Chains A and B, each alone.
Chain A
């Protein structure tokens, strides 16, 4: 499928239009859920870290460091992408599956359009553009959520939290997180696209392939998460 995506576009303007449409669908369409889970993820992370750090010799600012690193390294890229695998993945699989079953893909083929290039590539490229941006947004909101919860629950003052955020910050963690974000974005878009594009049967099969694509995407995200951590964090 991926090999067939690369051909000369029939009309670049139409491809661009489709790409922008997909950016809107994937990026703007997932904004709400990403904001919601990111803020709560950071908040819960702050509360639970404070609950576990009971020793008086550990400074309060450590909570901020732990929230920051947990959010950047794992929660923002992995957790958000697993949620996006459900939201975006099922949408891509069911959209393409419906187009396949209702012969819309055949109709495009008959017109002389490379459907893999026109339907699949804009989705993958849009995911590669928007999902890392959503992950960055999630990092910011997660850390902000931790700050909000820390101050609201009287766990630590905001100035201590802010100071903690700047202590022992490793910029490489962000590079690692973005590497994961790009990898997961590819998984989230390409696997459901494959399952949707090649679906056979009727409405029931669209549902099945959509569910299967989400499950496979989630497993692949977790697997890739482990492999990337092994490769990129073993020798920083």
Chain B
């Protein structure tokens, strides 16, 4: 569980995060959503320590991250895995070497044991026969899978994903979402996902934090979000007419007015 309270962060005069607080639950996919510039990436970078918040407290389980010294942070970070927006794979290394890197750095396992573990996680993310390929030789979806494999190779307690679906087609996005959800459940991790992909929100949003102009605007889950009365959240979710129609359908469905044999035009009248 990750708890953060009263997080503030400014860059010069610009206040990016203003008194943000929330609880990211263990064993769940915790989503931070919001429009571009709402502060979700900065919040995530504060949570992992890439940015130092101006004030506020970040607590990993029972330990205050903000009060840790550098050495303690280094220790904690070995329990954190992160999937970056662009995957952030090391260009000069093969897929296998990329995934093996954390094992090389932080364990004293023999090469064969490391290779076994690498193959296990690559198999877990459904990526086989790509071990010897370089990042430039694989697709965007495969890069994300390698990124996930590298993030989980040390069995982390916390997994952070920054826009895991960016640049992916909807089908591949769903596969990645499902993979993250499955891994979260399987390893009991606290997963924090930063996204503005509504498909992801609906598919895996078990605990959602909606950010608006650097502040917490709404929180709930993917069941509650559809029926939220928050206007800003609704403007964000139902930005397209299609989604608005879909919402209307869900509302009608919820009231029991839709039969299985649907007629969209009739329903929307």
Residues of A within 8 A of B (CB): 7, 10-11, 14, 98, 102-104, 106-107, 109-114
Contacts and interface: CB of A to CB of B under 8 A. Distances in A.
Contact of B86 (A14, A103, A113, A114): A103
Interface residues of B, number: 26
Contacts of A98: 91
Contacts of A14: 104-105
B50 A113 contact: no
B150 to A, nearest CB: 8
Contact of B77 (A102, A103, A110): A110
B12 to A, nearest CB: 14
Contacts of A112: 73-78, 80, 106
Given A11-B105, A14-B105, A110 B86 contact: no
Nearest 9 Cβ contacts at the A-B interface: A112-B77, A103-B88, A107-B88, A112-B74, A110-B82, A103-B84, A112-B78, A11-B105, A104-B88
Interface in B46-97: 48-50, 70, 73-78, 80-82, 84-86, 88-91
Contact of B78 (A102, A103, A104, A111): A111
Contacts of A111: 77-78, 101-102, 105-106
Interface of B: 48-50, 70, 73-78, 80-82, 84-86, 88-91, 101-102, 104-106, 160
A103 B85 contact: yes
Most buried by B among A11, A98, A109, A111: A111
B105 A107 contact: no
B149 to A, nearest CB: 13
Contacts of B75: 112
A109 to B, nearest CB: 6
Given A104-B88, A111-B105, 11 more contacts: A10-B74, A10-B105, A103-B88, A104-B91, A106-B50, A107-B82, A107-B84, A111-B78, A111-B101, A111-B102, A112-B73
A109 B85 CA distance: 16
Contacts of B105: 10-11, 14, 111, 113
A110 B77 CA distance: 6
Contacts of A106: 50, 82, 84, 88
B34 to A, nearest CB: 20
A74 to B, nearest CB: 36
A106 B49 CA distance: 10
B104 A11 contact: yes
A102 B88 contact: yes
